[in-house]
Amino acid sequence: MMDDPRIARLLALLRAALHPPPGPARIALALGLGLTCHTVFAAAVMAMIAAMFFGLSESLGRVPWPWALLANATLILQFPLGHSLLLTGPGGRWLARLIPGPHGATLATTTYAIVASLQLLALFALWTPSGIVWWRAEGAVFWAICVAYGASWLLLLKASFDAGAEVQSGALGWLSLLAKIRPVFPAMPTAGLFRLIRQPIYVAFALTLWTVPVWTPDQLALAISYTAYCLLAPRLKERRYAARYGEQFRRYRASVPYAIPRLTDAEDPPHAQ
């Protein structure tokens, strides 16, 4: 297990951070941003799990109708638009300047995780429910759907680990600053779920949208819009991968399907690690 590059890379980063070089201000900044990042990240994930479990029928938003339609549409759009823009060159440069001083670039992944978590927290905490419930699972169907919902979240967790837990959680930035080292990004992911499909994170997230035990117009609007995003947005990601990894990514793309696994065995994808 320790030979697994996903685990070895994370352990090496943690070992370096456990013995930080002197620098009280740097250490305080790293620990403060790390605590903020993981607190907001956890709050966003918990809000997502709870809100979608009830089909967005329970939330804190109280915008009067019909203005609630505009407010909810804005909440839906702000995450994919911001998420995509921050991954562009100008967005990355803005992230690097968001933390004043010399450490903004090192902390970019942590800052990105904080911003994305705040966006998701706003979406699920500030949503104004329509008050309409179409269907609520009961009995054995309820428990079967709960199992599917939990499995979808576990699949998302696994996909995030395969892509690089330190990047997906935002830990790479603050741990690198704490250790006073340059952030080292994972190589192009090809292990784990990435052996089956090229976009397991987006597919797993889409599955969480459709495996809920309560269905409302709110949940349907969220599921349709974000499923479309999960299918279309990775095209932009793959353009960046093609530019960054060149022939390696083109071989991987030729051998591994986009979102639906092959039913027959295929040739193993080339490994980046």
Task: Label each residue of the chain as H, E or C.
Answer: CCCCHHHHHHHHHHHHHHCCCCCHHHHHHHHHHHHHHHHHHHHHHHHHHHHHHCCCCCCCCCCCCCHHHHHHHHHHHHHHHHHHHCCCHHHHHHHHHHCCCCCCCCCHHHHHHHHHHHHHHHHHHHCCCCCCCCEECCHHHHHHHHHHHHHHHHHHHHHHHHHHHHHHCCHHHHHHHHHCCCCCCCCCCCCHHHHCCCCHHHHHHHHHHHCCCEECHHHHHHHHHHHHHHHHCHHHHHHHHHHHHCHHHHHHHHHCCCCCCCCCCCCCCCCCC
pLDDT band at 86 (very low <50, low <70, confident <90, very high): confident
Least confident of 96-100, 122-126, 250-254: 96-100
Instruction: Tell me the residue length of the chain.
Output: 273
The confidence score (pLDDT) of residue 55 equals 96
19-69 tens-digit pLDDT: 899 999 999 999 999 999 999 999 999 999 999 999 999 999 999 999 999
Q: What is the mean pLDDT of the chain?
A: 91
For residues 175 and 183, is the Cβ–Cβ distance under 8 A? no
pLDDT tops 80 at residue 270: no
Sign of CA dihedral 200, 188, 113, 118: negative
Structure tokens at 190: 């090809």
The confidence score (pLDDT) of residue 112 equals 94
112-152 tens-digit pLDDT: 999 999 999 999 999 999 999 999 999 999 999 999 999 99
Reported pTM:
0.89
Q: What is the mean pLDDT of residues 89-99?
A: 85
The confidence score (pLDDT) of residue 262 equals 85
Q: Where are the domains of the chain?
A: 5-255
pLDDT tops 50 at residue 202: yes
The confidence score (pLDDT) of residue 147 equals 98
pLDDT band at 265 (very low <50, low <70, confident <90, very high): low
**The CA-based dihedral angle spanning residues 44, 81, 123, 72, taken in that order and rounded to the nearest 10 degrees:** -170
Q: What is the mean pLDDT of residues 160-167?
A: 91
How much of the chain, in percent, has pLDDT values that exceed 70? 95
For residues 124 and 180, is the Cβ–Cβ distance under 8 A? no
pLDDT tops 80 at residue 76: yes
Q: What is the mean pLDDT of residues 90-104?
A: 86
pLDDT band at 267 (very low <50, low <70, confident <90, very high): low
The confidence score (pLDDT) of residue 273 equals 41
How much of the chain, in percent, has pLDDT values that exceed 90? 68
Q: What is the mean pLDDT of residues 100-111?
A: 91
pLDDT band at 187 (very low <50, low <70, confident <90, very high): confident
